Amino acid sequence: MRHTVVFYFLIIFIVVGIMGGSVLSTYSQFVAEGPLESEKTILIEAGRSVRKIAKQLYREGIINSPAVFEIGVRASGNTMNIKAGEYSIPKRSSSKTVMNILTSGKTYIRKFVVPEGLTSIQIVELMDGMYGLMGEIEKIPPNGTLMPDTYWYSYGDSKQDLLIYMQNSMKRTLDELWATKSKTLSFKTPEEAVVMASIVEKETAKDSERSHIAAVFHNRLAKKMKLQSDPTVIFAVTQERGELKRKLTYSDLRVQHPSNTYVIAGLPDKPICNPGKTALQAVLNPDSSQDLYFVADGKGGHIFAKTYAEHEQNVAAYRKFMNAQRLQ
């Protein structure tokens, strides 16, 4: 390869001569260490000429000479091979290395993290803030259809395409988990499981508790008890956005909404967020428990109870703990 490039440099000997140098010295500059002091990402826009790209690279401190870079690209026969996109350039890269990177098409990969428990509106808002994702969202997907996960994309990728990928990921995951569900469950459809998983997801951030909380909800449904889940009330009073920047009130519990489980019997008519894989696994394979109640313990977890009397004691203990915390 080195001999081929040197040969091409001989072809443009006259151009180099005009610059006042020699073929070999110009080639040496082309393969010499560059000035970049730390790794840097650069965006190459579509339709830019080699000369403009060379000037851009020089302006951003990536190469030593735009003329040497341009000559090297042309001499190597890569004038039409530079691909638009965002690239990561290692520190001290030579002009030749930069050329190879820009012609490889291996663009810089960015990370998009979708946390569990966000509504679809919140995920789209998060997506809108991601640098390099392009296009408009045709329609915000229903809650429960997007799989929370870490996704990777390149500059210029479509928001809509990424949403479709997230929907396919949720469908694939749900199909796999539905096949492993406990035979004692009363769920008729996978969609019902997603609805309960969305509530479990919002009730606790602790993976170790999700199966226990799922068992409580299954037990309440079996006894025809209302679920009485605070996250469903928050979903109702925030007009389904899912984020309430104040404490719930007793009047909130009485809000008439098809997702408010203090008002309705059974499951809500739709998911209140996009649950993750752990929450889905929990509702499809809940703990073996007879508990019907739980309350926060003030330390990020919950205390469970079989009877309402035990639950009242736990609530009183929680309030006492929180009052003591406020006095400290």
Q: What is the pLDDT of residue 19?
A: 47
Q: What is the pLDDT of residue 84?
A: 93
Query: Closest Cα partner for 166 from 202, 132, 133, 214?
Result: 133
Q: What is the pLDDT of residue 22?
A: 58
Helix orientation angle between 66-75 and 50-59, rounded to the nearest 10 degrees: 140
- pLDDT for 15-54, tens place per residue? 444 444 555 677 889 999 999 999 999 999 999 999 999 9
Q: What is the pLDDT of residue 273?
A: 97
Q: Which CATH number fits domain 2-104: 3.40.50.300, 3.30.9.10, 3.40.50.150, 3.30.1490.480?
A: 3.30.1490.480
CATH 3.30.1490.480-classified regions of the chain: 2-104
User: What tokens appear for 138 in the block?
Assistant: 């045709």
Q: What is the pLDDT of residue 18?
A: 45
CA dihedral angle for residue 311, residue 317, residue 322, residue 325, rounded to 10 degrees: -160
- Going from the first residue of the chain to its last (328 residues), give the mean pLDDT of each consecutive group of 10, the final group possibly shorter: 50 47 74 94 94 96 95 93 94 95 94 96 95 93 97 95 97 96 90 98 94 97 96 93 87 95 96 97 96 91 95 91 78
Residue 223 phi, psi (nearest 5): -95, 10
Q: What is the pLDDT of residue 23?
A: 57
In this prediction, what percent of the chain has a pLDDT beyond 90?
80
Q: CA–CA separation, 144 vs 6, rounded Å?
A: 59
For CA atoms 96, 97, 100, 102, the dihedral sign is negative
Rama region for 150: left / alpha / beta (φ>0; ψ in -120 to 50; rest): beta
Q: What is the largest CA-CA distance in the chain?
A: 96
Q: CA–CA separation, 328 vs 324, rounded Å?
A: 7
User: Could you tell me where the DSSP H helices lie in 13-110?
Assistant: 13-19, 23-31, 50-59, 66-75, 95-104
Query: Closest Cα partner for 258 from 300, 318, 315, 195?
Result: 195
Q: What is the pLDDT of residue 13?
A: 43
Kindly list the distances between the CA atom of residue 172 and the CA atoms of 8, 128, 190, 277, in Å, as whole numbers in the listed order.
Answer: 52, 25, 12, 11
The residue assigned the tokens 């199966």 is: 211
User: What tokens appear for 157 in the block?
Assistant: 């990728």
Q: What is the pLDDT of residue 128?
A: 94
Query: Closest Cα partner for 278 from 173, 182, 175?
Result: 173
Query: Closest Cα partner for 286 from 197, 192, 223?
Result: 197
- 3-state DSSP percent of the chain in helix, strand and coil, to 5: 45, 10, 45
Q: CA–CA separation, 161 vs 164, rounded Å?
A: 5
Q: CA–CA separation, 293 vs 311, rounded Å?
A: 6
Query: Closest Cα partner for 291 from 270, 314, 257?
Result: 314
Q: What is the pLDDT of residue 24?
A: 66
Q: What is the pTM of this model?
A: 0.83
The residue assigned the tokens 């997801």 is: 201
